[in-house]
Structure 1
């Protein structure tokens, strides 16, 4: 029995464990640690599929396990992060960037719970993905990891980057609610998006992927956490322009 057959599922379980850590950190208000856990989980998520293709051990079990892990890492955690952002805004203190208002039924209105719509939309998107035969080489709708990166970047921008315009947006309840609605829509929209899955390493057949990765790297080096929302927007725009569902 080859040990290589267990490597992809081991990476998937590592993704799930990161999601569990991210949920804990988000629930306790450590949104920066939650974000790091999600990033690490997405790293494992990428490589479970990579090793499954490399070792030719792709199967139904791995597919279902991968989606279950993604529900936690890229669904529950960003939903909890949005919940916490909306909750903190209700107790905003101009003397401090973030106030640990605590979680109790007396201190929470219905508004923060709307952030969990991201979790519900993510779960629905993953369930559709498992039965949608069109998404073998590309995506229909924003992938949950990309959406998770978008959401978790918000507290990192506030905490580590002193940019007034960005902070004013992220600390606006209406902006966060609008972003939540847009996030839920894009996760399940009939919009073709290219996948960062390389069947070969040739430049000609992967020019869009290489170009996007190069641009993303430059933006991350230049803008750090602020680059993440920009990269996600560019990902959608580039996909719509290139019509990658049939050409990539």
Structure 2
């Protein structure tokens, strides 16, 4: 970094930071930290809910920043640090305390693998943010991985919370999520501008029906939605396998073209 760039960044920081989006980021960080506290006290279902609350804050801070035109480099870095705590450390600690402790070293190494793969996923996203298609994520987003972990805990307690946990299944889940986060499998980002445009009336009816089902059976529906999204990437990759790739646009076509992920 040149001296000029360093002075410019220091000067921008002296001018202050945007309060509103960073408050939402702080809310997500608080939810993640409280999830760890709840896990330590053995309140695993509460810890899972606070991870899901953190995903709500994470979805709001970026949108608020874009709507109010208050995006900043400080906000991006702060958001990544908060995400690592809320969606990396908190789910890792929850999984270890809830199901992986009986495995000893293999258990805490699995939890650590999840955390480090989440950190790598965040670092790669920050580096590739301006070079990949905005409609797609490369690798499973870390909030989605954390939501999958939290929904597994909630669905267990929904069905009674008693009996023997299928610990081997949880171990395989952690390794699978870690691998998906650092993979090159593409996932839909829900950042398509067409989503906020006019849609057929049936879409509104379907959305209302979906909300009613989620409110009626939140644990079951959240687990189902998280599972569907998690497997959508690998299934999409399987369906796309063997299909001819889109050709890049020629230099004289006036269109830069986007390669398939």
| Closer/same/farther in 2, CA of residues 52 and 195 from structure 1, 3 Å limit | same
Aligned-partner SS, 1:58: coil
Unpaired runs of 5+ residues, structure 2, are 1-15, 241-257
* Helix, strand or coil at the partner of 1:134: coil
Q: Contact 1:41–1:73 (CA<8 Å) still a contact in 2?
A: yes
SS at match of 2:187: strand
SS in 2 for 1:79: helix
Tell me the TM-score normalized by structure 2: 0.72
Q: Which runs of 4+ in 1 moved over 6 A?
A: 210-215
| Distance in 2 of aligned mates of 1:140 and 1:215 | 31
| SS in structure 1 at match of 2:179 | helix
| Distance of 1:215 and 1:190 partners within structure 2 | 34
The structural deviation recorded for 1:180 is: 1.0
SS at match of 1:124: helix
How far is the alpha carbon of 1:212 from its aligned partner? Answer: 9.5
Structure 1 unaligned segments of length 5 or more: list them: 91-107
Residue 68 of structure 2 corresponds to residue 55 of structure 1: yes
CA 1:175/1:236 → structure 2, altered by over 3 Å: closer, same or farther?
closer
Distance 1:238 1:202, change over 3 A: farther
Structure with max Cα Rg: 2
Match in the other structure for 1:19? 32
Residues 235, 35 of structure 1: alpha-carbon distance in 2 compared, 3 angstrom cutoff: same
1:65 positional shift: 0.9
1:112 aligns with 2:107: yes
Query: CA 1:144/1:129 → structure 2, altered by over 3 Å: closer, same or farther?
Result: same
* Deviation by residue 1:154-191 (Cα, 9 ceiling, x = unmatched): 22222222499xx76xx122211111110101111111
Whether the 8 Å contact between 2:148 and 2:227 is mirrored in structure 1 is no
User: How well do the aligned residues superpose, as a CA RMSD in angstroms?
Assistant: 3.5
Alignment of 1:29-68 (within 5 A): 29-68=42-81
Q: Which moved more, 1:227-236 or 1:217-226?
A: 217-226
Report matched runs for 1:1-248 at 5 Å.
Answer: 5-87=18-100, 90=102, 109-113=104-108, 114-132=110-128, 133-134=131-132, 136-162=134-160, 171-197=165-191, 199=193, 201-203=196-198, 217=211, 220-221=214-215, 223-236=217-230, 238=232, 240=236
1:22–1:38 CA contact under 8 A, matched in 2: yes
Rounded to whole Å, the distance in 2 between the matches of 1:66 and 1:79 is 19
How many residues are aligned here?
221
Provide the rounded CA distance (Å) in 2 between the counterparts of 1:87 and 1:236. Answer: 21
In structure 2, how many angstroms separate the alpha carbons of the residues matched to 1:9 and 1:221?
Answer: 29
- TM-superposed deviation, 1:217: 3.9
Find the aligned partners of 2:123 and 2:114 in 1 and give their Cα distance.
14
Q: Provide the C-alpha distance between the structure 2 equivalents of 1:126 and 1:87, rounded to a whole number of angstroms.
A: 24
**CA positional deviation for 1:219:** 5.7
